[in-house]
Structure 1
């Protein structure tokens, strides 16, 4: 499988690249600074794109790919609409290049609290987190709106709080919503879930909750 990965030097994107290569995929890693991609592989091609606002240039990057994965997202409250801006350009490029499958990273608080969620999470923790990071989640909601309005075969993976721990491959998923009482997941396992979603037709045009 030929994959294009945006945000390939990020916390999740880097894991996507490594795991995809381990699976025998051919990977085009889209980066702003190639020096931040500390890996080489015969099946890995790095493409430097300084800005994700030229869809025509991006169409050439994604051309011939079987799927596109994006780990792009805001790193903090003051980063601005990073995810929605990048996804808008990626969708235009995919349409031009006739590539349909797209998997992106969103976040659990973008959707409603799942059935079975604890009262503490539902009434206290989730509202507080949503209030503190309201601009981040507004960006991710705008991104998911763009996906819903597109013709792409998308999946928006919604993890809770991200941690840096080794890959386990063992986590819970919920197609169409969130994972009840799921508070954390490793970035490596989010990457694993993104790659697994590529072969799961049930996740097409759906959010996918992931958590331990």
Structure 2
């Protein structure tokens, strides 16, 4: 498949690209600065873009078969502030996909969007309130994508950590899962690579955790 990856320059994005290439796909990484991207493989190209401006990535969308987005707000202080990045970037991506005639979208969200995630007490008591603005923006993103008319799959990830690819993780249909812990970026990328190639997963929401 010919696949476009938003957020390809991040840690999850890089893992995802490597795994997509290993599965025989062709990948286009959309990044802030292609000159600083650093990855070089056959069947991979990098394109500089602004994820909030469809005109900056419209040409890269042409001829693609599917889009994956692992975009996110990083940094402690940035994550505490009111934001609209998630919903705005989703709107830009959907706008571009419609114009290019690309229907398949796989997008990462967080298990934190749930009112009562089955996560440790310290997370529910301390972390979730601090990230309330971020989770509210993610909920708005999910709602917009679900109404987009695209063949979407939304993946709600547990807390992301660096770690090896194990392929030992749990997936919850409907976007919920008991006993949420963490998920390595490599294992999340493994599931995303599976999902984008499976038409039966379109229109579905999943949760993923170890």
1:49-128 mapped onto 2 (5 Å cutoff)? 49=49, 51-75=50-74, 76-78=79-81, 80-113=83-116, 117=118, 121=121, 125-128=123-126
Counterpart CA distance in 1 for 2:17 and 2:140 is 26
2:5 match: 5
Distance 1:198 1:64 in 2: 16
Tell whether the 8 Å contact from 2:104 to 2:151 is kept in structure 1 after alignment: yes
For the residues of structure 1 that align with 2:192 and 2:40, how far apart are their CA atoms?
22
Q: TM-score, normalised by structure 1?
A: 0.90
Shift of 1:206: 2.1
Q: Provide, for residues 163-188 of structure 1, a one-character-per-residue CA deviation record: whole Å limited to 9, x for no partner.
A: 10011111110121222102101011
Structure 1: give runs of 5+ residues left out of the alignment. Answer: none
Q: CA RMSD in A?
A: 1.9
Q: How many residues align?
A: 206
| Farther-moved stretch of structure 1 (9-18 vs 34-43) | 34-43
When structure 1 is superposed on structure 2, of 191-200 and 98-107 the one drifting more is: 191-200
Q: Does 2:147 match 1:144? A: no
Aligned partner of 1:15 in structure 2 is: 15
Deviation at 1:27, TM superposition (A): 0.5
Q: What is the TM-score of this pair, normalised by structure 2? A: 0.90
Q: How far, CA to CA, are the matches of 1:112 and 1:182 in structure 2?
A: 14
2:169 is matched with which residue?
Answer: 171
Range with bigger deviation, 30-39 or 181-190: 30-39
Q: Which residue of 1 aligns with 2:42?
A: 42
Which runs of 5 or more residues in structure 2 are unaligned?
Answer: none
